[in-house]
Chain A
């Protein structure tokens, strides 16, 4: 699945709205129902996150510590702050496979389980959310438009399975990370550089990805179109079909 490299869909047309008392789930619901294709910066205190909407789905999210679904769920926990559209680089591929409905349900469940349930929906949408909660969540777990070439099981790969994850900008600065990034980031950056040099010597430009298989783990590196380097370490037994497809390996 490809995404436009950059979009400037922050239309000048329309109202600028400031809503007191609205929650992030309300906002996500509105954007998704409007088939939004935009990126939003969410600020809550000192925390900043980004949510990427494409064709009415949340396809990517980013916080200081998380990427993908876990980042979206973290953002949805935030109780106050501000939301504004922004222009940041889109990911090469979606990092969230769940539907927006499922994200909201998971978020609501997390709040229920933490004993701090304060989810407030717009009056007209309460029934929708309630009905969705009653639905078997496994049916909503994935979108009904999987890539034909990827087996269903390979789509279940999530950040939780990664032993380590790090995204570095072209200057080597850590943009986001999970796990032991202090040890992993230098290895990833050095390996990617050597791979590029090896490619240059052999007349092969455009280093894209690397997969390295160890007896107990696998390491993936991927150079994004933005120039950022994504590095992932996961157990050898993890299903990696989706990652390979995404990274073209």
Chain B
């Protein structure tokens, strides 16, 4: 559900793709080239959660955070259920990107909790168990099997 919504972010020139993580850092959705696999984004998500925790210690939640690297930027938009993250070039059209983040965040936010459950179940192999899989684990690529 989330991934097609995220695809709209690429309408803005300079956006490579985007992903969504929950407040706890779990990956909830992505629209990025295949080189960014779920395991990497899960690690990134955990660090984003920690970064948020560190920056917001003792104060209000942040609205937006931008990190500039040598050739790229990473935008984090804080939303109620997580963070919408956009990977861009350094020359991205900032006002257009902010508008896209606002619109996408609005649509993505209500879907985060369910999507995160589905994504986690497919990106992290379940521990070996003899018990029958739960209904929530019976998903394939975000869709109920």
Contact = CB atoms under 8 A, between A and B. Distances in A.
Contacts of B107: none
Main secondary structure of the interface of B (DSSP, over half): mixed
Main secondary structure of the interface of A (DSSP, over half): mixed
B130 interface: no
Q: Which of B47, B56, B73, B90 has the most CB of A within 10 A?
A: B47
A164 to B, nearest CB: 12
Given A191-B54, A204-B70, A210-B67, A198 B48 contact: yes
B136 interface: no
Interface stretch (A11-19, A148-156, A213-221): A213-221
B67 A195 contact: yes
Interface in A187-227: 187, 190-191, 194-195, 197-199, 201-217, 219
B44 A198 contact: yes
Contact of B70 (A195, A205, A210): A205
A96 to B, nearest CB: 24
Contacts of B87: 202
5 contacts: A187-B54, A195-B51, A198-B67, A207-B67, A249-B68
Given A198-B74, A215-B60, A248 B68 contact: yes
Interface size range of chain A in the complex: 20 to 34
Interface string B50-94: 110011110111111111111111100000000000010010000
B63 A213 contact: yes
4 shortest A-B CB distances, which residue pairs? Answer: A206-B70, A204-B69, A194-B51, A212-B65
A162 interface: no
Nearest to B87: A202
Interface size range of chain B in the complex: 20 to 34
A78 interface: no
Given A190-B54, A206-B69, A210-B65, 19 more contacts: A187-B57, A191-B51, A191-B55, A194-B54, A198-B51, A199-B67, A199-B69, A199-B74, A201-B43, A202-B87, A205-B69, A206-B71, A210-B67, A212-B55, A213-B62, A213-B65, A214-B59, A215-B60, A248-B68
A211 B65 contact: yes
Contacts of A40: none
Contacts of A206: 69-71
A197 B74 CA distance: 12
Given A204-B74, A206-B69, A208-B69, A213 B64 contact: yes
A216 B67 contact: no
A16 to B, nearest CB: 43
Contacts of A248: 68, 90
Contacts of B55: 187, 191, 212, 219
B38 to A, nearest CB: 12
A219 B63 CA distance: 12
B66 A210 contact: yes
B143 to A, nearest CB: 27
A203 B74 CA distance: 12
A244 to B, nearest CB: 9
B47 A194 contact: yes
A216 B56 CA distance: 12
A222 to B, nearest CB: 9
A124 B90 CA distance: 52
